[in-house]
Structure 1
Amino acid sequence: MLLPAGVNVLHPDKLFIGGQWVSAHSGRTIEIVSPDTEQVVAAVAEADEVDMDAAVAAAREAFDRGPWPTMPPAERIAAFRRMIAHLRGRQDELARAWTAQIGGLASFAGPMHGGAVMTLEGIAGFAENFRFVEQRPTIGAAVGLLVHEPVGVVAAIAPWNGPFGIMANKVAYALLTGCAVVMKPSPETPLEAYIIAEAAEAAGLPPGVVNLVTGHREASDHLVCNPGVDKVSFTGSTVAGKRIASVCGARIARCTLELGGKSAAIIRDDFPTEAAAKLLTGTITVMSGQVCAMLSRAIVPRKRHDELAEAIAAEMRTVVIGHSDDPATQLGPVAMKRQLERIEGYIEEGRRTADLITGGGRPSHINRGYFIEPTLFANVDNTSRIAQEEIFGPVLSLIPAEDEEDAIRIANESAFGLNGSVLTHDAEAAYRIGRRIRTGGFGQNGLRMDFGLPFGGFKQSGIGREGGPEGLSPYLEVKTMLLDAMPGTP
């Protein structure tokens, strides 16, 4: 089957179920379209409901009767480190796959995927230091033990914007805690999950511990609804997250949800205008604005609003828009046609409710591909759709505030609570403001993220956390054991 140059997936026409590469029940394929050229660059097997059930059954068998859940943690860690070694040797392939599938900049793809592999090493380290069995004081028996046991079969569902790092992290936490996992990547970016499956196979993991099914929405929903799934780990839209939460809630299944955002950057008076313009422009164009934690609202003092609008617009006009494999490109395409049309719909909405300062159209020098100019709206009402809804593109809303208290109010006036920032040289002020912003993450002077620390959101931005040693807990159940004596091998 068709694959991007330099990507050497062995069985793109198969699914990985129960330790075997098997044909899809549907007999259909999923085509991946390059956002740079609008041409098909890859194709993989399409799983249907029958395949989803088969993958869950294989994972169920591996968890209920296989050696993986009861294996000493050190043995699981050693096996996972063999997977990491395999993935480290394929970083260039992972980078090429990402660029080909969603138009991520080639200049950014290498460091991004190298960093993702390093993060996996960190997660293995968290597992090494985790106490899966610990003694606790008790008045109910001679010995009290707190035992952390794997939650079971995990459905890991990853989005298209960061497909390798997000899926690999879910798989890492699931495997290191003793779970079996069914990977369901986005149909737009399946290739990274194939490489992860090949890493599991190369590492010699028991059959069914890692499974891969690539399908569209209906089949994915069927996977989530399967009663053999003990936990769903999902990263994606809040709309889809609500559906998953309702399904899991109906049978009290566990779920971790990392959902959308509409994060705000508050600009204080001590932060220079030109520096703010460069920072905000450089941020909104990262991954073409397709980042859940993106700082897409800039809250500015009203007296500085116009000068900041002018400076940001001037900076945006210097951004180099081009194909993702050109090293000079600063802003590549958005991931797919429907995403481009979604962004254009929000831009039209913004024209009716705010002042369009720059951008808003497709670049005139490119006649093919899913490209959009960096776009700035000023005098934005924070209650408007462009300020309240996640656009997921290079569109920045400039919102005036009367004072710092008003800025904090505006930042919190959102259904989302994923990330936030304050632009200031005063660390004390940054801390004070950050403690009042209702978000799961907050950084001084820009979009700051560290996946070695917990990541997740307040409000409709999600449930639970991924990252850091805290990322192990959602994949574990806690059992209290009260015994008459200490066992020989706790």
Structure 2
Amino acid sequence: MDTYIERTSYYIDGDWQQPLGSETYAVVSPSTEDEIGRIPVAGAKDVDAAVAAARRALDGPDAPWAAASPAERADAMERFAAAVEARADQLGRLVTRQNGMPISMSPLVNGYGPAAILRYYAGLARTLQWEERRPSFTGTSTLVRREPVGVVAAIVPWNYPQALAMTKIAPALAAGCTVVLKPALETSLDAYVLAEAAAEAGLPPGVLNIVPGGLEAGETLVSHPGVDKVAFTGSTPAGRAIAEVCGRLLRPVTLELGGKSAAIVLDDADLEAVTAGLATVSFANNGQTCHLSTRILAPASRYEEVLDAVTALADGFTVGDPLDPATAVGPLVSARQRDRVEGYIASAHSEGARRTTRRTRRPDRGWYVEPTVFGDVRPEMTIAQEEIFGPVLAVTPYSSDEEALALANGTEFGLGGTVWTADVERGADIARRVRTGSIGVNGYALDLHSPFGGRGASGLGRELGPEGISAYLEWKSVYLPS
């Protein structure tokens, strides 16, 4: 099952096409540090070919996707969903081999979940009012239409490669757009399986094109004259650079960026329930999740009690082979990411934070960082302000609800967050006052039917829910005579 995988082509225009350059990339297992595959790296000419194919599928009366009705698009998307779902276990295992995601969660978020997203937006395509006639104040009427924005450049990171790709692909296809997907090099092997599913589903040529690449491919896509809209998930610095280009080009852009979310533990919270929830809310995917509650705000009256409970949770995780179903925390995606996280741990020590978790022995090979908790974290410390993207939590005391809110709102980010309390109504009142795009009371789980996105340095626009398709639509008014 886990053989070496070598890919030598790209999925462009409904077929496998040879690269126009010679650069390749070695995909390395983060748990063994062994090379597990190799792929070609797309350059500017490969991106040109993919964008041209997407444009052909979109423009003109004979273009296959432009000519398709919403119901026909929905049919194709449902076939695509079935093909993805049939590959869910394969996709899950392949993603785990590439980025270290625990296998206990990987098939769901990289296979079954993306299939569900496709089916959700297929349903919206069937039911959305694509055209309506409105009476005009002049006594005539106006035909108001929803139309596809055009060719979409979808750029996704390595942490949830299939789920994050589908939050862009599915609403784009439902809207009638065509897509050029650039997966991250670290998790490109699974993108080929996605391409195979698209081909099996009979998506018309050029509707979905996949070109794994690095900085050159990304920059080419963002600024390409044949691209009409950019959808990006990744770091805040990269998002700012993309926003600058799109602003100059007056090009629509959706940005889902970093986070530094807070878990506000209220004074009446049940600590057993809190720690059970934080296992996923704060540590999911080895800490490599943008919306995680990585700052724990604890009432001063219960501070040591909360700190001890969070510490025991982190110390109790099984760290090891991500392909072992018993593993709770696997390796980070790369040596570079491990070194980055360890740099934040060193900064916490140097700035006076108190490490409360024990130092456990890591596996002899692989890019592991053990789950780490720091107490006595002041709000100005680096680990309280910057996104770490690893299994590291900062615990900070507060003396009142107002101070907890000030701390929760005290970073440039606004993506996720949680409130923990025995009184759900009190928790909802606190949640309403946190400046963030999403927040949970006594838990946190993305909802396909509701918008997800950030405020401030956490991004622009929303994905998921009916709001998610809006970013891929343009409005047109056709003024009709009486």
1:90 corresponds in structure 2 to 87
1:58-207 equivalent positions in 2, closer than 5 A: 58-65=53-60, 66-112=63-109, 113-140=111-138, 142-207=140-205
How far off its partner does 1:337 sit? 1.0
The alignment's TM-score, normalised by the length of structure 2, stands at: 0.95
How far apart in 2 are the matches of 1:285 and 1:433?
Answer: 23
**Alpha-carbon distance, 1:115 to partner:** 2.8
5+ unaligned residues in a row in structure 1: which ranges? 486-490
> In structure 1, how many angstroms separate the alpha carbons of the residues matched to 2:206 and 2:336?
35
Q: TM-score, normalised by structure 1?
A: 0.94
- Residues 185-213 of structure 1: per-residue CA shift (max 9 Å, x gap): 01111123222222222222222121111
The amino acid of 2:31's aligned partner reads D
Partner of residue 477, structure 1: 474
Confirm or deny: 8 A CA contact 1:347 1:360 kept in the other structure. Answer: no
Change in Cα spacing, 1:201 to 1:433, as seen in structure 2 (3 Å) is same
Q: How many pairs are equivalent?
A: 479
> Could you tell me which amino acid in structure 2 is paired with residue 50 of structure 1?
K
* In 1: Cα distance, 2:138 partner to 2:347 partner: 63
Deviates most, 168-177 or 114-123: 114-123
471-480 or 301-310, which deviates more: 301-310
Q: 1:437, 1:152 → 2: CA distance?
A: 35
TM-aligned CA distance change 1:354 to 1:129, over 3 Å: farther
- Aligned match for 1:414, one of 411, 414, 425: 411
Q: What letter matches 2:38 in structure 1?
A: A
Q: How does 1:9-24 map to 2 (within 5 A)?
A: 12-24=7-19
Call closer, same or farther: CA 1:238–1:141 in 2, change over 3 Å.
farther
> 1:67-466 residue pairs with structure 2 within 5 A?
67-112=64-109, 113-140=111-138, 142-359=140-357, 363-466=360-463
Structure 1 distance, partners of 2:343, 2:131, is 53
Contact 1:103–1:324 (8 Å) recurs in 2 = yes
SS of the residue corresponding to residue 132 of structure 2 reads strand
Using the alignment, how far apart are the partners of 1:374 and 1:140 within structure 2?
67
Q: Deviations over 1:417-457 (max 9, x none)?
A: 00111001211111111111110101001333223321101
For 2:36 and 2:406, locate their aligned partners in 1 and report how far apart those are by CA, in whole Å: 46
Task: Describe how 1:22-41 pairs up with structure 2 within 5 A.
Answer: 22-41=17-36
Residue of structure 1 equivalent to 2:38: 43
Query: Partner of 2:186: helix, strand, or coil?
Result: coil
What's the secondary structure of 2:419's corresponding residue? strand
Cα distance in 2 between the residues matched to 1:17 and 1:417:
37
- Distance, in Å, in 1 between the alignment partners of 2:381 and 2:447 is 31
2:114 partner amino acid:
A
8 A Cα contact 1:309 1:357, kept in partner = no
1:12 offset after TM fit, Å?
Answer: 2.3
1:401–1:104 CA distance, 2 compared to 1 (3 A): same
CA contact (8 A) 1:313 1:357 kept: no
- Change over 3 Å in CA distance of 1:456–1:365 after alignment to 2: closer
Alignment of 1:48-59 (within 5 A): 48-59=43-54
Q: Percent identity?
A: 44
Following the alignment from structure 1 to structure 2, what is the Cα–Cα distance between the partners of residues 418 and 69?
A: 35
Return the alpha-carbon distance in structure 2 between the equivalents of residues 131 and 282 of structure 1.
Answer: 38
Residue 41 of structure 1 aligns to a residue whose secondary structure is strand
Q: Deviations over 1:222-272 (max 9, x none)?
A: 211111111000011111110111111111011111111000010111113
Q: 3-state DSSP class of the match of 1:31?
A: strand
CA deviations on 1:392-414 (whole Å, 9 max, x unpaired) are 01100101112000000110111
Q: State the alpha-carbon separation in 2 of the partners of residues 454 and 277 from structure 1.
A: 27
Contact 1:148 1:479 (8 Å CA) reproduced: yes
Q: Secondary structure at the match of 1:478?
A: strand
How many Å apart are 1:461 and its aligned residue?
Answer: 0.7
| Conservation of the 8 A alpha-carbon contact between 2:73 and 2:122 | no
Distance across 1 between alignment mates of 2:171 and 2:349: 44
Cα distance between partner residues in 2 of 1:237 and 1:212: 21
Q: Give the deviation of 1:16 after TM superposition.
A: 1.5
1:88–1:359 distance in 2 versus 1, CA, 3 Å: same
**What 5-or-longer segments of structure 2 have no aligned partner?**
none
C-alpha distance in structure 2 between counterparts of 1:192 and 1:384, whole Å: 38
1:307 to partner: Cα distance: 2.1
Structure 2 distance, partners of 1:132, 1:457, is 28
Of stretches 15-24 and 366-375 in structure 1, the one that deviates more from structure 2 is: 15-24
Between the aligned partners of 2:56 and 2:248, the Cα distance in structure 1 is 24
